[in-house]
Amino acid sequence: MFYSEGMTEVAELKRVCWLEVHGKFDTRKLSPGILYQVSFIIMLKDPAQGWELPVNVRLVLPGGKKQQHKENLMEKLRARWIEVPVGEFVASEKDGGEMEISIFEYEGGMWKQGLVIKGIAIKPKE
């Protein structure tokens, strides 16, 4: 389900047992030589249920190099926007292209609800 929060459209997970969200971005639109951090911007609204198992977050860079780890959403703050880090990379002119950003969990079979995804942040790492 999509709804608008002010001027921003967000996606809210109502109730699923198979979570899989993918986004793509062309890294050639970024400044070369800069270290970038990629994160999902999410909120867990009550009742947030089914997050006992960690979710997988993955960044696949142009050329196929993958960064993947698990994030435990049960430990995250509720009812406020948070950033869930996915990975980082240095933008390059010669190795630029499309990268894929994902968040998924479908092995546990638990019904999930309460996740709101505002978007993906790609910003220089401080």
CA neighbor of 44 nearest in space, from 116, 126, 121: 116
Which amino acid type is present at position 24? K
Give CA–CA dist 120/125, Å, rounded. 14
Report the Cα 81 to chain-centroid distance in Å.
12
Instruction: Compute CA distances 20 → 5, 29, 92, 107, whole Å.
Output: 22, 25, 28, 11
Report the pLDDT averaged over residues 26-52. Answer: 95
- Domain ranges, residue 92: 2-124
- CATH number, domain containing residue 85: 2.60.120.260
pLDDT in tens, 59-106: 999 999 999 999 999 999 999 999 999 999 999 988 899 999 999 999
For residue 4, pLDDT beyond 70: no
Which amino acid type is present at position 11? A
pTM here is 0.90
CA neighbor of 82 nearest in space, from 109, 126, 45: 45
The tally of domains found in the chain comes to 1
Instruction: Compute CA distances 36 → 4, 22, 54, 79, 116, whole Å.
Output: 28, 19, 24, 27, 24
Give CA–CA dist 51/105, Å, rounded. 9
Task: Please state the φ and ψ torsions of residue 29, each to the nearest 5 degrees.
Answer: -85, -5
